Amino acid sequence: MEQIFTIASLWLGLAIISALIAYHLRISIALIEICVGVVTAAVAAYLGRTEDLGSNQEWLRFLASSGAILLTFLAGAELEPNVIRRKLREVTVVCLAGFFAPFLGCVAVAYYALGWNLQASLLCGVALSTTSMAVVYAVMLETGFNKTEYGKVILGACFINDLGTVIALGLLFAPFTYKTVIFVAVTAFVLAILPFISRWLTRIYAYRTAAIRTKWVILVLFGLGALALWSGSEAVLPAYLIGMVLAEFSNGDTSWIRRLRTLTVGFLTPFYFLRAGTFVSLPALVSAPIIFIVLLGGKVLSKIFGLYPIIGLFRRKHDERWYYTLLMSTGLTFGTISALYGFSHKIVTQEQYSFLVAVVIASAVIPTLIAGLAFLPRHLLPQPDKQLGAEPREIGLSEEG
């Protein structure tokens, strides 16, 4: 037990360092946590103390997996159904282009240009087809775009894009057996009744019994997550669907969803992102930088060429189109989840995993900076008195949905 508390203290200390760096650099904390994990693993390897980090200990894997599941739920729960219904055509067309263009482009780059095998190339396509809800949501909050229809449509397209990624991860790499049929049937049944039971629990018990909604949601997440793993799928797949189904329920009580976000981001997700960073091999990146450049170019260019003409059908102004396109070209959370899934299931090697995570990190930073510096549609910004204050900005810097 002493060793567990020592390792936990070390990782939470790294999480605090990450939070301080993220605050001063105004960068998503998930990105910083991955980078701190990379540096920590490199230092530990140099000192010959890699095992002391405990990255593969079962209890730490559980905390990291719990963080990924709750984070995925929160991403789905942030969805605004009314906006999606009003802008269904735009969101659907943009998200389909935003998923398939980089998926096909990156699969081709990995398979033909880099010589990866088919499974690794498909995993590469899935991991680099994502958008970054952590980064986009932070940008929307900090600029005030989250209060505008323009910003809400971008968020909606990001949500559906990432849903496509999660579904593709399950369809391409999960074995289809009788277990899959049971998993699909049980998940469909639970999703159908979940909103009604959740509202009933809230109406009768929410303000009388301590945190019953949080316990109920985590019960459903862990239950379906266990069933997903039993069927050979990934636990984040039902988590995202649960979040989407409960989006309207969650948005009905912002204080509850904020407390759940605090639990997730404050305690669980640091273990996930720091752990993901510890598996990155710096020697592999240094030895073959051209692979990193090729993959990053494949992701960003395929996103831009796939999205810019499509977004032009709905947004005529030059800056609106480029800003929309560049934010949709980012990647972080689900890209990391997909890459780590591939590494954990031996679909990609550690070197390939390292390149994928490095590209995911770069795609979270470069398109965002270019969009904010060169293409910010200032005419759509809300008036200063309508922008969110310090609390939302803090959420934006730390949120990982």
Topology of the domain covering 2-398: Na+/H+ antiporter like fold (1.20.1530)
Model pLDDT, residue 209? 65
pTM: 0.77
Model pLDDT, residue 17? 94
Divide the 401 residues of the chain into consecutive groups of 10 and give the mean pLDDT of each group.
Answer: 89 93 79 87 87 87 89 78 81 91 95 94 93 76 79 85 83 82 93 92 77 90 92 81 86 82 87 86 84 93 94 91 92 83 90 90 84 87 56 40 36
Boundaries of every domain in the chain: 2-398
Model pLDDT, residue 14? 94
Q: What is the pLDDT of residues 262-282, one digit of tens each?
A: 888 889 989 988 888 888 888
Model pLDDT, residue 384? 63
Please state the three-class secondary structure of the chain as a single string.
CHHHHHHHHHHHHHHHHHHHHHHHHCCCHHHHHHHHHHHHHHHHHHHCCHHHHCCCCHHHHHHHHHHHHHHHHHHHHCCCHHHHHHCHHHHHHHHHHHHHHHHHHHHHHHHHHCCCCHHHHHHHHHHCCCCCHHHHHHHHHHHCHHHCHHHHHHHHHHHHHHHHHHHHHHHHHCCCCHHHHHHHHHHHHHHHHHHHHHHHHHHHHCCCCCCHHHHHHHHHHHHHHHHHHHHCCCCHHHHHHHHHHCHHHHHCCHHHHHHHHHHHHHHHHHHHHHHHHHCCCHHHHHHCHHHHHHHHHHHHHHHHHHHHHHHCCCCCCHHHHHHHHHHHCCCCHHHHHHHHHHHHCCCCCHHHHHHHHHHHHHHHHHHHHHHHHHCCCHHHCCCHHHCCCHHHHHHHHHCCC
Model pLDDT, residue 330? 87
Model pLDDT, residue 392? 42
